[in-house]
Structure 1
Amino acid sequence: MDAPPSTIPAPTGTAAPHRAATPPALRTVGVEEELLLVDPRTGRVRPVAATALAADAALGAPALTPELQQEQVETATPPRASMADVDADLRALRDRAQAAARAAGVLAVPLATSPLPARPSLSPGDRYRAISDSFGVTCAQQLTCGCHVHVAVDSPDEGVAVLDRIRSWLPLLTAVATNSPFADGQDTGYAGYRTQAWGRWPATGPVDLYGSVERYHARVQQLLDTGVLLDAGMFYADARLSHRYPTVEVRVADVCLDPADTVLVAALARALVVTAADEWRAGEPPLPTETAVLRLAAWRASRDGVEGDLLHPVTGRPVAAPLAVQALLDHVGPALAAAGDAALVERRLEHVLARGTGATWQRAVAAATGDLAEVVLRSAV
């Protein structure tokens, strides 16, 4: 749940592709992770974010920030060019979150939904109160934890061109990051139920092609003019221009159980951005995939993760997950190689395809123990 921007950035005009500035050789990446706060005995979420945040502040410069509900907190890495540095930051921040959580008498867990029944408690603040007043039960029942990846872009023009060219590939990131099979005490039938729960908000999911930065800002303004969204921070598209940083923000992943999977998502997101920017500069048009098809692709990725069929990002037809993942690797291969990330990504994808995602692990623990509390407690960061 995002804070609002102070203003909506003004359109800058769309340059022809051949006039676009050349971006840095290696784009920086930052990652935001949301974590649940749970009782160390029962595994049920507890509304102690304020206490955890105070404990975190006592440890030094604050590393945690509040979220919509008092049962969760968020971390954010600094921008990094090296995936090894992203990995180190993620692990350090999870350790810091766990220290603050323990000081508050709870555990921090990287689960995208609470496997056990939960009745969230709204965090304090005028904006959260306004959201609750406007969206009722959607807000009252919303307790999901995502992973957002920020990738640097050279300009808003380039950023919008990237958004148009990555949209067909984003469901594959959803699939490899699925980590929310349980919610409210039951198996949801989805590997990534967070995507379904999150979709109850307006202005979520895939979007139509923009074509230019002017059209991007005009569309966001049109949504704001409806009065449904309280501010531009509630434009919850699968990917968007960040209103805080000069980045494209990719928002389709569950918070991952294993930080190695978070690094995988970050590396793939950067490679998609690099590939898309290169296509734009070369004058290559985006795939014309209908938004309705992208919604179905996201739904299928959310349901099956990597353990069933996925929609091929080019053809829109169902194929076995390894074939869809291979298409992604083929698409971003040069960008991965240029960044030095190819071996890391290929190795981790092989692991995910062979052993499954966090959702696979959760279901295995539940089957072995018959106890969803064990799923929660064994996932502590």
Structure 2
Amino acid sequence: MRTVGVEEELLLVDPSTGEPQALSAAVLARAARAEPSEETFEKELHSQQLEFATHPCADMTDLGAEIVRCRQEAGRVAGEIGAAVVALATSPVPVTPSLSTNKRYEWLAQEFGLPVQEQLVCGCHIHVSVESDDEAVAVLDRIRPWLSVLTALSANSPFWQGKDSLYSSYRSRVWMRWPMAGPNEPFGTAADYHRRVDDMVATGVLLDKGMVYFDARIAERYPTVEIRVSDVALEASTATLLATLTRGLVETAAREWRAGTAPADHSVELLRLAAWRAARSGLEGELLHPRSMRPAPAAEVVHALLEHVGPALDDSGDADRAHKTAGDLLRHGNGARIQRQVLERTGSLGDVVTECVRRTQA
């Protein structure tokens, strides 16, 4: 069974106002004193952010428990210095981002300017184990059309600097300001993948290979593929669903490769439009269907994804829970819909953050 690990980025906020707080250094120091042997938490680009990484898990129930544990531990440590953590992909209330102290981040700010200051966004990165770089590239080439559906499911960033962006995942639009981010043409072989990465680094625009921000890539530090298209999900159950579907996509793609099934030939231009449509719509309205790249109702596209990975979900024992959680999302809404509902009910973006803090810790 393939193992899965999840990295989530959280916002540190004032629990009374919902305003992001530049306290990551203090939270990390306190966490290190409490658990000196653990390295669960890391700093991120901005000091209003905190990142955690789960242990790799083969069982999705265990992974879900890991996500809950890490969120609760982050909340406990932040609470000790008067802050709270919240799984929001952008801040609903206005914020002035504060860059973390780090030579790498300082280089980014000097090289890329204002877009770096605007990158106070929180994503979810999912690592799925693979047997080799050859298998990894075969997977990357075959999952491309389906990644936009993960963005739609996870969408949790409708607000930007105190305003409704009209997007469900505005985080993904901000992220696309990086020139090395987004979808790619098929690689074909592991050698071609590494050659393309080397060519990108050789331009001097990138500091190193860690700045190759493909939607999905071969991880540098782990024997995994890393899928990077999702907002941080409001609910831990949604994060677990994303991990489950991502493992299903990886396993399905690997099986197709072994069976000699060629990747879909969708162009990067179509994949970019599918990503934009997912960011704009989320689970409301239409998405571009991964098979045809034509508009289809969001529910139809989500069910197509479940059908596509169905045999892999059956084999791992995850099918029933995946169908139930996906059905709940379609009925009750993802983070973007919930945030807008809270604002409509209360009229306060601060109340939106407060409610999302509660759901993050639930």
> TM-score category by the smaller chain?
over 0.9
Q: Does 1:54 align with 2:29?
A: yes
d(CA) in 2 for partners of 1:196 and 1:248? Answer: 23
Deviation, 1:59, is 2.0
The equivalent of 1:22 in structure 2 is: none
Rounded Cα–Cα distance in structure 2 between residues aligned with 1:62 and 1:221: 30
Where does residue 66 of structure 2 map in the other structure? Answer: 89
Alignment-derived partner of residue 245 in structure 2:
268
1:38 matched to 2:19? The reply is no
Equivalent pairs counted in the alignment come to: 356
* One-letter code aligned to 1:46: Q
Q: Show the 5 A alignment for 1:127-166.
A: 127-166=104-143
Partner residue of 2:180 out of 194, 199, 203 = 203
* TM-fit CA distance, 1:103: 1.6
d(CA) in 1 for partners of 2:48, 2:343: 22
8 Å contact kept, 1:122–1:140? yes
User: In structure 1, how many angstroms separate the alpha carbons of the residues matched to 2:203 and 2:39?
Assistant: 37
Q: Which residues in structure 2 correspond to 1:280-295 (within 5 Å)?
A: 280-295=257-272
Contact 1:180 1:191 in 2 (8 A): yes
Coordinate RMSD, CA, aligned? 0.7
Q: 1:59 to 1:364 in 2, by over 3 A?
A: same
Offset, 1:269: 0.2
Q: In the alignment, which residue of structure 1 is the partner of 2:87?
A: 110
Secondary structure class of the residue paired with 2:230 = strand
The match for 2:194 is: 217
Q: How far, CA to CA, are the matches of 2:219 and 2:82 in structure 1?
A: 34
Tell me, in whole angstroms, the C-alpha distance in 1 between the residues paired with 2:342 and 2:51.
26
Report the AA paired with residue 325 of structure 1: V
Task: Measure the CA separation in 2 of the matches of 1:104 and 1:181.
Answer: 28
**Equivalent residues of 1:63, 1:96 under 8 A apart:** no
Alignment correspondent of 1:189: 166
Please, which runs of 5 or more residues in structure 2 have no aligned partner? none
SS in 2 for 1:313: coil
Shift of 1:166: 0.2
Over 3 Å off, 4+ runs: none
Give the aligned residue type for 2:336: A
- Give the residue type in structure 2 aligned to 1:311: L
State how 1:1-381 maps to structure 2 within 5 Å: 26-60=1-35, 61-380=38-357, 381=360
- What is the letter of the counterpart of residue 329 of structure 1? L
Per-residue deviation, 1:226:
1.2
**What's the TM-score once normalised by structure 1's chain length?**
0.92
Q: CA deviation at 1:217?
A: 0.6
SS in 2 for 1:379: helix
> Residues of 2 paired with 1:221 and 1:62: CA distance?
30
Greater share of residues in helix: 2
Contact 1:306 1:356 in 2 (8 A): yes
User: What is the SS of the residue equivalent to 1:80?
Assistant: coil
Task: Give the secondary-structure state (helix, strand or coil) at the position aligned to 1:306.
Answer: coil
Contact kept in structure 2, 1:275 and 1:335, CA below 8 Å: yes
1:116 Cα offset (Å):
0.8
1:133-156 CA-to-partner distances (Å, cap 9, x unmatched) read: 101101111100000000000000
Q: Partners in 2 of 1:56 and 1:300 — Cα distance?
A: 39
Paired residue for 1:8? none
Distance in 1 between the 2:70 and 2:114 partners? 32
CA distance in 2 between partners of 1:265 and 1:189 (Å): 23
- Show structure 1 runs of 5+ residues with no match: 1-25
Counterpart of 2:59, as a letter, is S
Deviations 1:61-115 (A, max 9, x none): 2421100000001010011000000000000000110011112221100000001
Deviation at 1:254, TM superposition (A): 0.3
Q: Distance in 2 between matches of 1:180 and 1:250?
A: 19
Task: Give aligned-pair identity as a percent.
Answer: 50
Query: Conserved in 2, the CA contact under 8 Å of 1:70 and 1:122?
Result: yes
Using structure 2 for the length normalisation, give the TM-score.
Answer: 0.97
* 1:14 alignment counterpart: none
Question: CA shift at 1:378, angstroms?
Answer: 1.4
Letter in 2 for 1:131: L
